[in-house]
Each structure stands twice: as structure tokens, then as C-alpha cells.
Amino acid sequence: MTGAVAWKLTANGTPNCIHRLAWAGPRPLGWNSWAAYADKINRQRYIASAQFVRDKLSPEGFSRKVVYINFDAFWSSLDGVALEDAMATVKSMRSNDGTVFEPGIYWTPFAAWGDDPDAFVEGTNGKYRYRDILLKGPDGAFLPTVDGGKPIDPTAPGTRLRTQFYIDTLAKMGFKYLKLDFLSHGALEGKHADPAIQTGTEAYNLGMQDVLKANAGRMFLSLSIAPLFPSGYGHARRLSSDTKGHISGKDQSTEYMLNALTYAWWTDESLYIIDPDHIPLGTKADEGARNLVEARSRLLSTIVSGGMILDSTRLADDPEGQAMALQVYNNRALMKVGDEGKVFRPVEGDTGDAAARVFARSSAHGYYIAVFNYDDKETHTIQVNLNRIDPEFKGSVARDVASGVSAPVSGSDIPVVLTPSESRLIEVSGPSERIRGESRGAKNKVR
């Protein structure tokens, strides 16, 4: 067997080897509603955000010929008519360059949010109530709520009908992207309806097999709050928990997400496409980037994570966020690196609970090197040691990708000066590359 593989268990517990769920198209790029509007999302904001992407961002390079406009949680606050109209409006959009717009949506197959256990389960024609599908403990009592959601038993007959119903309905409506959230609820231990299922992992396997079968390749599947293993059930998996726009912090920051990349870069393409989560810009978005420097660092963090890019700015009605988006997504040289869909590796791997400050990958001329200053108050000079990237490589030119400015390299060390919250993507080329830009004769320092 060739190619990237993942492990799963059959119903009787024997191991099988399966290929990762491959995706033939470019890595998703688009917009997500969560950090922008959360439970305040509505038809008007969804459509207006898509129109801003089409009219303002796509002409500047925010496009991969397909742009996804994704509802996150609380899309259920729209009635059926408004939801279908919003979806159809986005599907009808085209940019002047021919970019197609596709709608995306959100669902939690193994977590229930209602308070009434006697409510009928969708897609079961009144045969099952939620009390029939909620996961129970050995004593027969429902498992406690986890992070606001009640765990659902993936093996219950009503659950399996519900999965078929939801996924078939969303795909037939025309959605092309499906975020599946709170999936770890389906791997919890409990007393499952199917007596042949003995573990939470077996139950999760069965439930996700139902998801794949129902989807039948119709929608891009992005997994969130999901077990790393077993894999093979989603095209993408969110790398960490929610990530927002601040450069540093204990959680939900750029540094927090890049800490996960520092230790899980290897999962990209071997198991999934890495999803670095959304990019909220402006102070009106939830923990959105507070300034342009911080915003550009958040974008670069998604590029080094493999280039899956989902903005989550209040593009419908926030002038600050709109202005910031126009200045963040307009650098075609940076966006082109993201379009290549290749993950960077940390140069150092002993960072503990912090993130690596330097990431690298090969380029057509040598190496791309991304450098981050996670300090939002102080300027730092970060030393890039080329020998730690490739001891055989002799760099001669360092080019700032965003500006195009180049400087000669002498020796193996490149000091990169970064202001608070700043990051930099440079390409270091070998001896055959000529210095480009206006900085011939500049000292060996990228600023």
C-alpha cells in the first residue's frame, strides 16, 4: 500500500489500514461567521460578507478560483426560507475573474444542544426521541453535559438515521463545505445501544463511517474538536482549539495555534489538511487582531500551517475590520506561498508549552523561513541559523517575500529584527540567485 495511511478498527476490533481522505481541489479559502458574528449571524450579514469578499477582496488576490462562505454555529436561527435564500445567493455569485463562491455550513453529529429529551429526532419520522440516542453510563443515566453539549451515542439507530438525514439534506440544498464540530463527544465511553460496540473509539468509528457514507464525497469535511486518531474521516482537521486574532495569550492566540503546529506539523497530509482556524480582524470581532501588524502575523501563521485560510472579520458592517482586511489580503506574493499548500516545519522542537519562533520549508530557490515575535510590547532580534535548517545549504540572498526587498547573506546566521507582534516571511536563496530589489549592498540583516 502506498501513500499516506491511517488506522481504524473494524467492528470486531481488528486493525485495518486506510488511506487518508484525499482532496483533489485547492486548500479551502474563504470566510467563516463564528468570530465575526457568532449567535448574531443572519441572512443579511452572511450575504453582505460574501459580497465584500467578491467585490473587494477577490480582485486583490483573495481567491483560489473557489471561495467558501461558511455559516458556523447558530445558522439554525435562520428560518428555512432565509437559509435557502442565503445559500442560493452565494452560489450565484461570481467574481470578474471567474471565481466561484460556494456556501458552507456547520453541524454537530454527536452533541445535542436542546433541553427536551422527549423531542423527536430529526429524520426518524417520529420513531425516536432524543432520550433514545443520548449516550448513557453503566447505570442507565444520561452522561453529563460536556462543554454545553449532551453526548450522543453514535451507535443508536436514531443517531444513524439522523446522520443520514442531516448530511443528505445539507448536501442537496447545495452546501459544499461542512464543518463537523464537537466530534470527541462521539468517542466518550458509555453504554452503547449496539452491544457489539465495546469502546468509545469503536463507536466513533461507526459514527464517522456513517458520515462518510452519507456524504458520498459531496461536501468538503472539516473536523473540529475531533480525536486525532482514528483518522481518514475528514479532509481537514482543526489543529488546535479556537484560534482568534491576538498574537499571544494562554489560548486562542496565534502563538497558541503555532505551539500546536510546532508539535503536530507532521499530521498535514499524512492524516489531514491542517485547519489553523479562522482569522478575525478588527476589535469588533471576537478577539480580533487589534492592529495591522498583529493581523498580518495571524495571516502568516495560517500560511505556514499549510495555507488553509478562512477569514472571520465582520465584513458586512465593520469599517475597521474591512479596512484591515483590504490591507492584509492584498499581498499577492504572500498569498501565492499559501496557495502552494505546503506546511512549514519548526526549526527547533524543544519549546515546551511555547511555540517555535522560526519555521521553514523548501522553496524553488532555497528555503522559505517564517519568523515570529510573540511579544506584543517589545522589539526582538531573532537569530535564524541556516545550519539548523539544512547544514548543506549555503544561502547567498535573503528576500523579504511581502516587500520583495533583498539583502546578501554571509555566513549561517541571519538576525531578523521584529517589532512588537511582527512576523516576517523571507526566502533564502542559494549562490546562483541574484540579489533583487533596492537593497544591493545592504548588511546581512532582514528588517
Cα distance between residue 74 and residue 65, in whole Å: 28
Cα distance between residue 204 and residue 99, in whole Å: 37
CB of 4 within 8 A of CB of 319? no
Largest CA distance in the chain: 78
Query: What is the predicted pLDDT for the residue at 249?
Result: 84
Query: What is the predicted pLDDT for the residue at 426?
Result: 98
Reported as half-sphere exposure (CB side, CA atoms, 13 A), residue 426 has a value of 30
Evaluate if residue 7 carries a pLDDT over 50. no
Please enumerate in sequence order all residues whose Cβ is within 8 A of that of 179, keeping only pairs 6 or more positions apart, or say none. Answer: 32, 70, 72, 104, 105, 106, 107, 222, 224
Cα distance between residue 30 and residue 215, in whole Å: 21
Query: What is the predicted pLDDT for the residue at 428?
Result: 97
Query: What is the predicted pLDDT for the residue at 26?
Result: 95
pLDDT band at 430 (very low <50, low <70, confident <90, very high): confident
Query: What is the predicted pLDDT for the residue at 12?
Result: 44
Query: What is the predicted pLDDT for the residue at 444?
Result: 39
Q: What percent of the chain has pLDDT over 70?
A: 92
Query: What is the predicted pLDDT for the residue at 8?
Result: 47
Which range is least confidently modeled, 14-28, 41-55, 217-231, 243-257?
Answer: 14-28
Phi, psi of 177 (to 5 degrees): -140, 130
Evaluate if residue 432 carries a pLDDT over 60. no
